[in-house]
Chain A
Amino acid sequence: MAAAHACSSAAAAGEAPTTGEHRMGTTIVGVCYDGGVVLGADSRTSTGMYVANRASDKITQLTDNVYVCRSGSVSAHAIFKIEAFSLLFSHAVNEHGKGRAQFLGISSRFFFCPGRAYIDGWKKAADTQVISDYVRYFLHQHTIQLGQPATVKVASNLIRLLAYQNKNMLQAGMIVGGWDKYEGGQIFSVPLGGTILRQPFAIGGSGSSYLYALLDHEWKEGMSQEEAEKFVVKVVSLAMARDGASGGVVRTVTINADGVKRNFYPGDKLPLWHEEMEPQNSFLDILAARSPDPMVQ
């Protein structure tokens, strides 16, 4: 939910706090480990140059066992309509159901059509919130009808359908992660155009540019839960150090067979990287304690 800063031609920094769209530049990460997944995100939401929310929660729950990391990016204008979603819903459900015999005694036409929703692609934070709200609603219905917890694949497919069908108007990059009893821990990435990719690890948001090489170098299969969590925190804090649109705190969600665990790492507890300073209460302390040039450590 961090907003990527994009300036419209007329927007001055002073106007942004109230009139600017809530944009999301962010760093989101999802990593599979041996027995589950760890999702991590920063917590900054900005409108223009102002940080509207420095402690937002970008990892939202879809079902008990599936969570999604949300990020927005640059927008595209168009007015659109989400068509009769029941059709899409049944499509998503059938994709999963092909391999599963226990699926579908009930016709999927019973699914309640959400009605028309007009989605315009200017607001990213709002986009992602609305998408996850819709998908949570559909998954709830699906769980009731199925009689079992929804699988991660179904959840990701629903996100993908919304993102793909409305790609002209939406700007939402999501990483879906969860655990189910059939496939274990899974991470699916649904980036901007509505592709769906199953990956052992996934990154997204404006801060992810700084992480591609790092993950290529440092990722390894079969980490343990502690290793994976530490890894995610390290990776997100590195991105926060270099990306202006990411910052605040690191939130992680660990999902495995035993359930879900949420963690919170405040900004001052994160490791310090190159040229980062220790947190201080006041700049005056720095001036008083150190040499005349406070930037020299």
Chain B
Amino acid sequence: MQTSKQNWAECRLPSPLDRPSLKAHRRPNILAERKAQHEYWRRPSFFLLPQSNPASAGCCFNSNSDPRTKEKGKRRERVREREKRGKKQPRRSPLSHRLRTQIRMTGSMDLPAKGGFSYDLCRRNDFLEKKGLKVPGFLKTGTTIVGLVFQDGVVLGADTRATEGPIVADKNCEKIHFMAPNIYCCGAGTAADTEAVTDMVSSQLQLHRYATGRESRVVTALTLLKSHLFKYQGHVSAALVLGGVDVTGPHLHTVYPHGSTDTLPFATMGSGSLAAMSVFESQYKEGLTREEGIQLVSDAIRAGIFNDLGSGSNVDVCVITKGKTEYLRNHELPNPRTYVSSKGYSFTKGQTEVLSTKITKITQLKQKVEVAEGGDAMEE
């Protein structure tokens, strides 16, 4: 067929590219073409031709008797004639439309060889910004996080709502992160940033504990956090309330995304911080007991939950004292799910169609390793 664009090899199977072109004016004898095509597909000799040319002995395709090759030869003649007459050849790409489009698009852009970022649109963005287009800002995750110092230690509190713009992404997430057995950190801002930065510093603290053989101090965590955040100039959007009890006593600090820190007896951060701070400012006093501290923290978080749209769901509390830490997950649930369908949910047998059944026997695990009890794991 003259519309085949490439001669890959002597031996080839019909490919989708061999379908007839729709340009009828170039193929005056469509009927003959169809017949030939039909013949081509039906032809058994494709597989059973005797090998007349030893060079093509490994191939079962005889180009000399193949009508397609003859047609191709005709095409080549036509091309040569056009060239003789001085006319330009129509550009024919051997590739599919999709591939061609891809190449066209990537040809105009600078893609790095192995993936990665392409900064080609940065200039366009700058230009648009100069023209007055407002750049979309970062989405804050709403939060209310608080901490206070009471007579025996520190109480931290947080709500449990994680938002993605106007949608609640997680109704019961954990915002109080572990830093050390005696240090916990509440995180507000971009959830990924707070998670990553607290995980990182928590690992660094553990390594430090192994190196020094001592309990971690809150100021160590503070310095690690602040230097990391300062280095990133506020682009790591993590606003943290860090609290803990170490040998020097109870400490409570706030860390801002740009790397500045404050040391305070009570602190709030997040979009609900104003609501929570109002509760603290009116009711905080020095020397609170444990129950009073937990109550005050819960009140402050609840103020944030009910008065700030970015905070909601439940109250998490963490009480850190010398030698003991209690993480009261979902200490209060002021937003229970009140709607329950009157009929309840029922799934009667036969509602779901069984398409197929496959039974796999689970073999019992056999113990292959013998554990020697009481042996010394490593001799010094």
A residues within 8 Å of B by Cβ?
10, 14-15, 17-19, 21-22, 45, 47, 50, 52-53, 55-56, 79, 117-118, 120, 122-123, 125-126, 129-130
Q: Are A10 and B137 in contact (CB under 8 A)?
A: yes
CB within 8 A of B234: which of A21, A79, A130? A21
Q: Which of B175-183, B204-212, B257-265, B283-291 contacts A (4 or more CB under 8 A)?
A: B257-265
Q: Give the distance to chain A from B197, nearest Cβ to Cβ, in Å.
A: 15
Known contacts: A126-B230, A129-B261. The answer to whether A21 contacts B256 by CB under 8 A is yes
Q: Are B260 and A123 in contact (CB under 8 A)?
A: yes
For the complex of A and B, 5 pairs with smallest distance between CB atoms: A123-B258, A125-B260, A126-B260, A126-B259, A120-B233
Q: Are B234 and A129 in contact (CB under 8 A)?
A: no
List of B residues within 8 angstroms of A15 by Cβ: 140
Q: Which of B108-116, B266-274, B368-376 contacts A (4 or more CB under 8 A)?
A: B266-274
Q: Give the distance to chain B from A142, nearest Cβ to Cβ, in Å.
A: 21
Interface of A is mostly: mixed
Q: Give the distance to chain B from A19, nearest Cβ to Cβ, in Å.
A: 6
CB within 8 A of A18: which of B134, B259, B273? B273
Q: Are B256 and A17 in contact (CB under 8 A)?
A: no
Q: Are B239 and A18 in contact (CB under 8 A)?
A: yes
A-contacting residues, B233-287, CB 8 Å: 233-234, 237, 239, 254, 256-262, 264, 269-271, 273-274
Q: How far is the CA of A150 from the CA of B226 in the complex (A)?
A: 27
Tell me the nearest residue of chain A to B271, going by C-beta. A18
Bin the interface of chain B by size. 20 to 34
CB within 8 A of B264: which of A47, A50, A55, A125? A55
Q: How far is the CA of A156 from the CA of B256 in the complex (A)?
A: 27
List of A residues within 8 angstroms of B262 by Cβ: 45, 52-53, 56
Interface centre among B226, B231, B262 (most CB of A within 10 A): B262
Tell me the nearest residue of chain A to B138, going by C-beta. A19
Q: Give the distance to chain B from A123, nearest Cβ to Cβ, in Å.
A: 3
Q: Are B258 and A22 in contact (CB under 8 A)?
A: yes
Q: How far is the CA of A117 from the CA of B257 in the complex (A)?
A: 17
List of B residues within 8 angstroms of A22 by Cβ: 256, 258, 260
List of B residues within 8 angstroms of A130 by Cβ: 230, 259
List of A residues within 8 angstroms of B269 by Cβ: 17-18
List of B residues within 8 angstroms of A21 by Cβ: 234, 256-258
CB within 8 A of A19: which of B254, B257, B259, B264? B257
CB within 8 A of B233: which of A56, A123, A125? A123
Q: Are A19 and B258 in contact (CB under 8 A)?
A: no
Q: How far is the CA of A117 from the CA of B228 in the complex (A)?
A: 11
Q: How far is the CA of A52 from the CA of B273 in the complex (A)?
A: 10
Known contacts: A125-B260, A129-B260. The answer to whether A17 contacts B274 by CB under 8 A is yes
List of B residues within 8 angstroms of A122 by Cβ: 233-234, 258
Q: Give the distance to chain B from A136, nearest Cβ to Cβ, in Å.
A: 12
B189 interfacial contact with A, CB 8 Å: yes
Q: Give the distance to chain B from A172, nearest Cβ to Cβ, in Å.
A: 12
